[in-house]
Structure 1
Amino acid sequence: MRFGVPLGLLHPAAWKDVAVAADELGFESVWLPEHLVFATDLSLAVYPGTDRPGISPVTPLFDAPAYLCWLAGLTSRVRLGTAVHLYALRHPFVSARAFATLDLVSGGRAICGVGAGWYPGEWLAAGVDFATRGPRLDEAIEVTRQLWSEPVVAHSGRFFAFPEVAFEPKPVQERLPILAGGESAAALRRAATLCDGWISMPHTLPSIRPRLDRLAALRSAHDSADPFSVTVHAYSLAGPEEVGGWESLGVDRMIVRPWKRGRDAVARLAEFAGRYGIGDRAVVD
């Protein structure tokens, strides 16, 4: 099992110290979320399944790949991921370049977690159609795969079209992993058919099973033998004995939050690492 740390659940002032501690303690990865901009109209911000806004317009926002580039220079082995990047909100040139740069400066430690997003306010503000965000993301992923692997690329699609271009440098990793976040039918299909893995919302062992069953069925129908990873946000672990249950379901990475207060994050990470033997069994791809 690989263990990751959700930096986005902390105040940004703590990100540096927690990322460095995670690197030194043997955690496999650190993760940042992202939004591009928040509209002040909160009627656009009601989170699905609730009756309240899911954002505050004054929340500080950062360019996640750029911030991770900075953390790459302060760390040596921890992987640097997004959970998740709104890839289709930009032209694929922009995001493909950002993650290729992150992979280069980190020596091959980038993980590109992507999602279609739930919040229409930033799409409207950016002048991008929120209703077509899913197929736009699918096409952006396909374009990105070409940019990262082929000497020259030309494309004519529903959302993006460009003449033959070169894209250098390529990522350090032969296949920089793209993981799909989200739990809708479209998100699970995207993970199973277009991506190298899936990132869940927060779950417990019982609640994750239906999603994993559906994902397995989609993977089987797609008939792919390519490597595939399953990353879950698991914030309520009962103890080390529970890890085997997650592994038996095919989960190979857990993003954990062992702290209750942000100021205790580094100390709680150290305790967690000792209790779960992370320094002994953490894996860096």
Structure 2
Amino acid sequence: MQSVSRLYREPWELDAGPEQLALVARAADRLGYAYVACCDHVVIPERLAEAMGTTWYDPVATLAWLAALTSRIRLLSHVAVAPLRHPLLSAKQYATLDLLSGGRLLLGVGAGHVPEEFQALGVDFHRRGAILDEGIVALSAALTDEYPVHRGARFAFSGLAVGPRPVQRPRPPIWVGGSSPRAVTRAALLGDGWLSQGDSIGQLSSQLQLIASVRRQAERGGPFVVNAIPPALHVGEPGWDVGRRTLAGKPERLAEALRGYGALGVTHLQLRPRSRDCQEYLDQLEALATDVLPLV
């Protein structure tokens, strides 16, 4: 609903708005889901408007609004296109969100992929990876220390206070998105977790091996989150055409498929139930939470 790309939206979401978004967030909060997520684009070029849609809610404003409507669910930016913004600006925005939500922020960042968006905002698209690498380090410093120090090729700051401070210590988690080798390596080296961008379960195995190898060589230990996106789901026999890429059927069948991700080392799954209207979406959320996930 907060983005209407035809790559994943349902037809009814084209006309959905804040009322439906609030219903879904409150239901997910009540049913025990781990997080709600909001993605990010500032502008969409005309050549991509048909495929991507032009409605993309701002993640900070949207997640802050959802924080006020919920009580325990985490709030994930999946993903904020971090190279488009100075890390001090991002630190200010997301630290405020973490404070106002009582420490529920999960900060997902990525490099972006739309050249015209970078050009419009005056950022070098071809250097976005390097900008993101330095930006994550700078952003981490600004979220960790009230008076952060960072000396880099693009960003440099010291002696400047960044407030308010986030609730989470030493800082909110930073999860890095992207499925190219460079992005996966970046997540392993700089992030607290990796946000897969739709890798199949077969592709995930090699990606996780790369993460393990990079972290081992860099002597990075401790917990590391792996978030995957399985195929779209529908609990029960849908009675309508959900397409070949949707996993539908009895709870046991869906649970068995989802357990395969856990066996690989995946820690979080981003679920997308198929639906024809908001009420069916809410019903599917409840069926997944009560009938499928306990089996996983």
Distance in structure 2 (CA, Å) of the matches to 1:136 and 1:54: 27
Distance in structure 1 (CA, Å) of the matches to 2:91 and 2:36: 20
Task: Give RMSD over aligned pairs.
Answer: 2.1
Match in the other structure for 2:258: 243
8 A contact 1:229–1:251 mirrored in 2:
yes
Distance in structure 2 (CA, Å) of the matches to 1:38 and 1:258: 26
* Deviating 4+ runs (over 4 angstroms): 6-10
Deviation at 1:240, TM superposition (A): 1.1
Is 1:64 the counterpart of 2:79 in the alignment?
Answer: no
- CA 1:214/1:38 → structure 2, altered by over 3 Å: closer, same or farther? same
Structural mapping, 1:177-256, within 5 Å: 177-236=173-232, 238-256=253-271
Identify the match of residue 135 of structure 2 among 133, 140, 147: 140
Is 1:31 the counterpart of 2:31 in the alignment?
Answer: no
Aligned residues: 264
SS at match of 1:24: helix
Identify the match of residue 116 of structure 1 among 104, 111, 122: 111
Query: What's the CA shift string for 1:117-153, capped at 9, x where partnerless?
Result: 1111110011111011111111111111111222312
Match in the other structure for 1:91: 86
Higher relative contact order (CA 8 A, sep 6+): 1
Deviation at 1:231, TM superposition (A): 0.4
Greater shift in the superposed pair: 178-187 or 149-158 = 149-158
Any unmatched runs of 5+ in structure 1?
Answer: 1-5, 47-52
Deviation at 1:275, TM superposition (A): 1.2
Any unmatched runs of 5+ in structure 2?
Answer: 233-246, 248-252
Match in the other structure for 2:292: 276
Deviation at 1:277, TM superposition (A): 4.1
Greater shift in the superposed pair: 62-71 or 6-15 = 6-15
SS at match of 2:148: strand
Identify the match of residue 272 of structure 2 among 254, 257, 278: 257
- CA 1:63/1:130 → structure 2, altered by over 3 Å: closer, same or farther? same
Equivalent position amino acid for 1:216 in 2: A
8 A contact 1:72–1:80 mirrored in 2:
yes
Query: What's the CA shift string for 1:133-183, capped at 9, x where partnerless?
Result: 111111111111111222312433211123420112221111311001001
Match in the other structure for 1:55: 52
8 A contact 1:7–1:31 mirrored in 2:
no
